[in-house]
């Protein structure tokens, strides 16, 4: 159990999640979610119900295509329709289980899904070169963690 996810998101932005902020969804996608899923604790998220319902209705087939990154694509689709507000104060606790989907699926499919997410985001918005490099570094790190020899055939 960790107090926060600052260590996990520090390669995306070392300062952003240390303070409350609000910004439009496109900026959040381009500056954070283009690298990795920076919202690892869905139980800490409040959604506008109508927006989430619309995204689930319109994107259900796409979400079902993914085993490991469906939450990430859902966040991206929701943020395409609005904004994000982040509160730095921890308002809930989150425990990761060894048998959780993300932890227990250290395989090529998982890595390919991460690469697919990078490609989806890059197709929807302009990504700065710094964020492209960070995304590639994230995939390389995950490949190493999973014991895989290549990052992915998907273009970064």
In a domain, 28, yes or no: yes
* Rounded-to-integer distance, Cα 4 and Cα 104, Å: 22
In a domain, 156, yes or no: no
In a domain, 155, yes or no: no
Q: What pLDDT is attached to residue 152?
A: 60
Q: Which domain holds residue 119?
A: 6-146
Token digits for 70?
Answer: 């469906």
* Arithmetic mean of pLDDT, 101-109: 66
Q: What pLDDT is attached to residue 1?
A: 55
* Rounded-to-integer distance, Cα 136 and Cα 151, Å: 8
3-state secondary structure of 105: coil
Percent of the chain with pLDDT over 70: 88
Token digits for 51?
Answer: 């927006």
Per residue in 44-59, pLDDT tens? 899 999 999 999 999 9
Q: Count the domains in the chain.
A: 1
* Rounded-to-integer distance, Cα 11 and Cα 91, Å: 23
In a domain, 101, yes or no: yes
């Amino acid at each position: 159990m960790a107090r926060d996810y600052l260590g996990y998101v520090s390669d995306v932005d070392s300062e952003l999640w240390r303070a409350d902020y609000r910004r439009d969804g496109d900026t959040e996608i381009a500056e954070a979610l283009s690298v990795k899923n920076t919202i690892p604790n869905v139980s800490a998220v409040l959604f506008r119900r109508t927006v989430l319902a619309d995204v689930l209705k319109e994107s259900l087939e796409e979400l079902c295509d993914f085993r490991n990154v469906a939450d990430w694509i859902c966040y991206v689709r929701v943020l395409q329709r609005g904004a994000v507000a982040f509160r730095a104060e921890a308002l809930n606790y989150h425990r990761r289980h060894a048998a959780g989907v993300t932890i227990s699926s250290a395989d090529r499919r998982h890595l390919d899904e991460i690469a697919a997410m990078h490609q989806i985001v890059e197709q929807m918005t302009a990504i700065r070169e710094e964020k492209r490099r960070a995304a590639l570094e994230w995939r390389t790190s995950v490949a190493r963690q999973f014991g895989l020899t290549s990052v992915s055939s998907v273009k970064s």
